[in-house]
Amino acid sequence: MDIRRPRGCGVEDGRSGEGWHVESTEDASPTRIMAKVAILGATGRIGSFAASAISHIPHVSELLLVGRSGREEYLEGLARDLMDSFAARGTDTRVSWSCETEDVAGSDIIVCTAGVPRQPGQDRLDLALENARIIAPTARTIGRVAPDAILFMVSNPVDVLTTVALDYSGLPHQRVFGLGTHLDSMRLKSLIADYFGVHVSEVHTRIIGEHGESMVPLWSATTIGGIQISNLPAFSQLPTDEMVETVKNTGELIIRQKGSTIFGPGEAIATLVRTILGDENRILTISTYIRKEVHNIGGVCIGVPARVNRSGVFPVPILIEKSEVQAFRQSVERIRSITKEVLERLENTDEIRSSG
């Protein structure tokens, strides 16, 4: 194993830190398509961990860490720390950092974790306008300098901000999406597996709708070992309401206990990036723009099952039970109302309208 550093530099025009490259003498797969991934908000806890998690993906050849002005020293330290981890595992990955959004040019995927973090006791939707004022000009810049990229929103409230990013970036619907209810679905999956005493891989379930209070569990689409969960005698004793409340409150509980969620979102982010770059065509539950894929309900970005591959995300048409349709419709209307208000207020903000 031959490891050499530093090699080359980061992005141009003197607005970034030095770039480093750890190189392995092992031959890469000739069919593997390599990619550059940019992380906006890399100085935050989720952004920092996501960078490490994403670096494990074989398709990633370059990471760009983007943070706000004034955090240059931290970004340089983060880049050095990551490079040490790459050297330890013999990874052929390049790292650079910047405080300029324009430097995401050339990125294949842009992961946006930027914004004000949710505080203990604060509803995700309370953050909507404050973070929208950050995301709107950022998305506009991304649309201008990286028109071929996939924009992956993590910032909360993710459903509202995914629409803001879609609207201001001008990118196609399939190339702007949010983390949505992917992690919520995984949390419910884990709870079900624990209750039935089975391996988590035997459970398939989904939560659709808002990443928040109005989320909708799809018990009609839940199976264990390929068996519809309602066909299992033990289902009648399953504390479904309690489980859903646990899923809703887990993030808040973690924030109250340790200040922020890090590892769960970070690994979920890496899973989605891996699915895209690997062109895996997996069906995951994410926040994306829907037209009428779920019982003709649409016109908003919200959590739904979607096929995920190198070209982007594509909502999958589904039919669900009547009670689930009603709950999903209410969730959509809740997000639609807040999103509309946020976009209207942004439109009246001169600095947003004229930026980019």
Residue 23 backbone class (left: φ over 0; alpha: ψ -120 to 50; beta: rest):
beta
Which token pair is 192? 């079900």
The alpha carbon dihedral of 184, 306, 278, 172 has a sign of negative
Phi, then psi, of 172 in degrees rounded to 5: -60, 150
Given a contact cutoff of 8 angstroms between Cβ atoms, the answer to whether 77 and 110 are in contact is no
Known catalytic residues are 211
